[in-house]
């Protein structure tokens, strides 16, 4: 067990000699892979789109490699876990959203969102968690969302899956913890990624979201990467079962109206 102070506090965020897998390497995942590599990890950049995986691996440096992987294919995930062998860090950022009112949702929409966000998380925890538990070390980081805590119209299934991701990872933290394996989630606020392009293309919608948070703006994908490095590193050696909010205070502040004081 590491306490994070073996090499002094100056090195507590370093990941030298560690192997990391980042799944879903467009947007936040791309910056997470780059940040992990910058702190010394060798990083496998995995994505269902091989071009995205290769581009992110190139951006992450010479210690990074690319892997085509679809987390909705459980057999492929199991094969990847066997082929990659010992990993110290696994980061799952892959996710999707279908923005529709509940009464307009189809069963096909439901299955697509649940299949990637919730079943995909289960598949990754099962496949890669087994090896970590056997080796008695490792850190798993999964992207949840502020929508696990605060909802709005049109977000029913997405919000439900992200709340499910939090609870599933908390359970994994409880079950894997005796083996020294940590499992945490990160709940981003509004981040400028391909997943939020629909909002960015509507100026009023974009501005309304910016003004809702305490900081009054959107996040760049790189602003989530620090939380990934923290949870992956020895700096978080006593952190497990947490859902770390990186949302500019969205879920803490009622920013819809500023009353006179």
Instruction: Indicate the number of domains in the chain.
Output: 1
**What is the reported pLDDT for 66?**
98
| Residues of the chain under the 70 pLDDT cut | 1-7, 255-259, 261
Classify residue 201: in a domain, yes or no: no
CA gap 90, 56 in Å, rounded: 16
Classify residue 206: in a domain, yes or no: no
Q: Which element (helix H / strand E) includes 152?
A: none
**What is the reported pLDDT for 257?**
61
Short-list 52, 119, 42, 54, CA closest to 88? 42
Which CATH number do you get for residue 35? 3.40.50.720
**What is the reported pLDDT for 1?**
45
**What is the reported pLDDT for 148?**
95
Beta strands in the chain (DSSP E): 19-23, 42-47, 64-68, 89-92, 138-143, 181-188, 243-246
Q: What is the pTM of this model?
A: 0.93
**What is the reported pLDDT for 194?**
77
Catalytic residue among 158, 206, 209, 230: 158
What are the backbone dihedrals phi and psi of residue 179, each rounded to the nearest 5 degrees, phi first? -90, 5
Domain extent, residue 65, equals: 9-191+222-246
CA gap 23, 36 in Å, rounded: 13
Report which DSSP code applies to 218: P
- Locate tokens 């083996």: which residue? 179
Q: Is there a catalytic annotation at residue 9?
A: no
């Amino acid at each position: 067990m590491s306490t994070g102070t073996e090499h002094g506090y100056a090195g507590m965020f370093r990941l030298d000699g560690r192997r990391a897998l980042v799944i879903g390497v467009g947007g936040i995942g791309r910056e997470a892979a780059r940040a992990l590599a910058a702190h010394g990890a060798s990083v496998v950049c995995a994505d269902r789109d091989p071009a995205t995986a290769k581009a992110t691996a190139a951006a992450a440096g010479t210690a990074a490699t690319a892997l085509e992987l679809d987390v909705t294919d459980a057999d492929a995930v199991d094969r990847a876990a066997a082929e990659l062998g010992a990993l110290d860090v696994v980061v799952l950022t892959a996710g999707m959203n279908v923005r529709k009112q509940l009464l307009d949702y189809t069963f096909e929409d439901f299955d697509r969102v649940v299949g990637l966000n919730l079943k995909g998380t289960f598949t990754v925890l099962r496949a890669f968690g087994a090896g970590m538990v056997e080796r008695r070390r490792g850190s798993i980081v999964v992207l949840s969302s502020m929508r696990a805590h605060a909802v709005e119209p049109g977000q029913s299934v997405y919000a439900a899956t992200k709340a499910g991701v939090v609870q599933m990872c908390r359970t994994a933290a409880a079950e894997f913890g005796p083996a020294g394996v940590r499992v945490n989630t990160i709940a981003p606020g509004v981040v400028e990624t391909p997943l939020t392009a629909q909002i960015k293309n509507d100026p009023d919608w974009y501005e309304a979201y910016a003004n809702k948070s305490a900081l009054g703006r959107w996040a760049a994908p790189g602003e989530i990467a620090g939380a990934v490095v923290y949870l992956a590193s020895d700096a978080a050696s006593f952190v497990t079962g947490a859902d770390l909010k990186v949302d500019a205070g969205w879920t803490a502040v009622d920013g819809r109206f500023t009353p006179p004081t």
